[in-house]
Amino acid sequence: MLYTTIMNPAELEKSKSFISVEIIEYIPNSIVSKTILKKSTGNISVMSFDSGEGLTEKTSPFDTFAQIIEGKAEIVIDGKSFYLNTGQSIIIPAHQANIVKANERFKMILTVIKSGYE
């Protein structure tokens, strides 16, 4: 698996319209991440996952809002699988183990609000 972060000097240009699903492309055998907005209080990023790729199990101290903007994702939270299609979202609770799997390729927006340790 190749994990690529698209580096940009800052987040996306403000006061300029964009289509979320079009700001990131798929790369074969890879996961690609691009920052939309990054602040000390949280961040928003868009990610693309090629089929068969995924993120290893992790636990975050903050709630994470995951919104599928293209395709279908499998998100496992504390051992329970959730299958989300385009337009569906889920909140991954803080302090719960989670895994993101691409049984087929998909794109999603992740929003983390760093409100403190719950």
Cα–Cα distance for residue pair 15/7, rounded to 1 Å? 20
How confident is the model over 12-71, as pLDDT tens digits? 788 889 899 999 999 999 999 999 998 889 999 999 999 999 999 999 999 999 999 999
Give pLDDT tens digits for 89-116. Answer: 999 999 999 999 999 999 999 999 897 6
Q: What would the two tokens of residue 68 be?
A: 């599928």
Q: What is the three-state SS of 70-87? A: EEEEEEEECCEEEEEECC
pLDDT confidence band for 9 (50 / 70 / 90): very low
Q: How far is CA 66 from the centre of its chain?
A: 6
What would the two tokens of residue 21 be?
Answer: 């699903």
